[in-house]
Structures are given as structure tokens and as C-alpha cells.
Amino acid sequence: MLSKSEILWLSKKSIGDIITVEQFTNALTNDVFLITNSEQIQFVFKRLNLDARSDDDRQAEYLVQQLACRHNLTAKVIAHNHRYKLQQYIIGELLDCNADNLIEILAEQLVHIHQIPALHAPKQRLAYELRRLKKQLTVIIDEKYFQKMLELAEQLDENCENDTLCHGDLSVNNVLLGKDRRWYVLDWEYAVIACAAYDLAFCNCINGFSESKSKILINAYYSRLSLLKITPLNSLQSLQKKCVLYSKLFIYINKLWSLCFVEKD
């Protein structure tokens, strides 16, 4: 399951004797493993997909995750390089997609994330992401529609406030309730500095929310800001309009991403 070079790398990280290695089957971008040592201490080991992110992106991800860790929001990275990442394992349960308070929990996590200083992550670059995905495609796509989406991406990039640290991938599979009854947010590799609408729209898209649920999430997020007496940059109506534009683009980006990394085999 792990190669000799991976075991050698891990042996130099002072994590003790490895007893068991189990693979997480729900991970899509990277190969992810749960490692247990002889003292029953557990770690998460990631074999990084080198096609998915650049070395600079990986370094930014590391810095953002450590920053989020200092804000008690995610796991600590123990060691990393451009190919592997070893981090703390947080015992808990993933957010139930059928939970009655699902949207309120997601809105609360987004507010927490957006209060972290906007540092380290790259600025929003949707046009760049579209072009990068297109280069990796092995199938033919509608060129006219791609150009239409590229124009929208360029417009959103140009008009973005770039004032907010965004997680960029807040699915229910990335939110965990720890044994300490605190919520944790996992997988920061798509973090960017953008605006609140970026994160809200992607959260709606990645979780497959309907139009009505999408509006409920935006309203819940806005209400949470008011409850915490945080002054939002945009009005609720303006935020909703921005989310519509971002959502349209994210649906297309997710389709291209799936063609590149999920359906290509």
C-alpha cells in the first residue's frame, strides 16, 4: 500500500513503529492513509497528486493550514514536501449530510474561516484554473462554452475584493466534529484569498444544494455575521448576486475537474 520510499520518509519523522496502514476510500484528489503506530497513536499520510497543484500551491497550503491550526480550526501538519504530507489525526465524526442543522453548521464554519487573516494563499485566479484544467483534459469539450466561462472567470477575477481567506472546498466531507465537541475543517489545498461569495458559492456547488438551500446558506451566513457583530463588506442582496455568478462558474469548473481527475480512467 505504501512504497519503500514512502516508508523510509515516514521513518525519519519520529512517529514510532508503524503497525497498520488503512486507506481512506472517499479521498478524490490525493491518496490518503490512516497510520497507526505501536503506541496506538494515529496520523494521516497523504500521497499528493502532483498534477492537481503546483509546488508553490502546496507550500501555500501548508502555511494556510498551520495558520488555521493556530486558530484551533484544523489539524497540525507534522511534516511535508512536494510529494507527501503527514499530519495530526483528529478523532471524530464527519458532518452528517442529513443533519437538521447542516446549513447552520456550514455557515458557522465559513464565518470562522473568514475571520482568519487573509495570508499565504494565492489570490483568486479562476481564469488560470480554467486554463490549467483545459490543458489536462484528454477529451474534447465545447470550445465556445469554454470561452464564455473564461470571460466570466476573468470578470470575477478582476472585480474580486481579495480580502478574505477562503477554504475553497467546504463539503460536508471536510467538516468534522471532534471528540472534544469542537468543529474542525479539513483539506485546505484549494484555499485562496478572495471574497465571501467565492466560498459560499463553492460550498453550495460542492454539496449539491438546490437554489432554495443555497439562499438559506447565504442568509444563515449573513445572520451569523450580524450575531457576532461583524460588519459585512456587501449587502445581503449584493452577496446573493455575486454568489449566482460564482456558482455558474464553479459548476463548470467542477465538471472539468471531474473529467481530469475522476472520469479519466
Domain end point (choices 63, 89, 115): 89
Q: What is the pLDDT of residue 262?
A: 84
Burial track 148-166 (b if 16+ CB lie within 10 A, e otherwise)? ebbebbeebbeebbeebbb
Q: What is the pLDDT of residue 65?
A: 98
CA 210 – CA 78 distance, rounded (Å): 38
Do both 70 and 149 map to the same domain?
A: no
Higher pLDDT, 264 or 12: 12
State the DSSP H helix or E strand holding residue 106, giving kind and residue range, or none if neither.
helix 102-114
CA 202 – CA 43 distance, rounded (Å): 28
Domain end point (choices 44, 69, 89): 89
Q: What is the pLDDT of residue 264?
A: 58
pLDDT at 263 over 90: no
Domain count, the chain: 2
Taking all residues of the chain, what is their mean pLDDT, rounded to a whole number? Answer: 96
Do both 107 and 159 map to the same domain?
A: yes
pLDDT at 265 over 80: no
CA 160 – CA 191 distance, rounded (Å): 15
CATH number, domain of 73, equals 3.30.200.20
Do both 85 and 97 map to the same domain?
A: no
Do both 85 and 99 map to the same domain?
A: no
Cell of 19: 503497525
Residue 28: pLDDT band (50, 70, 90) is confident
Domain that holds residue 21: 4-89
Q: What is the torsion angle, in degrees rounded to the nearest 10, for the CA atoms of residue 242, residue 243, residue 246 and residue 249? A: -130
Residue 204: pLDDT band (50, 70, 90) is very high
User: What is the mean predicted confidence (pLDDT) over 166-178?
Assistant: 97
Do both 234 and 209 map to the same domain?
A: yes
In this predicted model, what pLDDT tens digit does every residue of 124-148 receive, in sequence order?
A: 999 999 999 999 999 999 999 999 9
In this predicted model, what pLDDT tens digit does every residue of 65-111 receive, in sequence order?
A: 999 999 999 999 999 999 999 999 999 999 999 999 999 999 999 99
In this predicted model, what pLDDT tens digit does every residue of 178-198 receive, in sequence order?
A: 999 999 999 999 999 999 999
Do both 102 and 85 map to the same domain?
A: no
Do both 175 and 249 map to the same domain?
A: yes
Domain end point (choices 44, 71, 89): 89
**pTM for the complete prediction?**
0.95
CATH number, domain of 102, equals 3.90.1200.10
In this predicted model, what pLDDT tens digit does every residue of 205-229 receive, in sequence order?
A: 999 999 999 999 999 999 999 999 9
Q: What is the pLDDT of residue 71?
A: 97
Do both 102 and 157 map to the same domain?
A: yes
CA 108 – CA 102 distance, rounded (Å): 10
DSSP helix/strand/coil, 44 = strand
Q: What is the pLDDT of residue 215?
A: 97
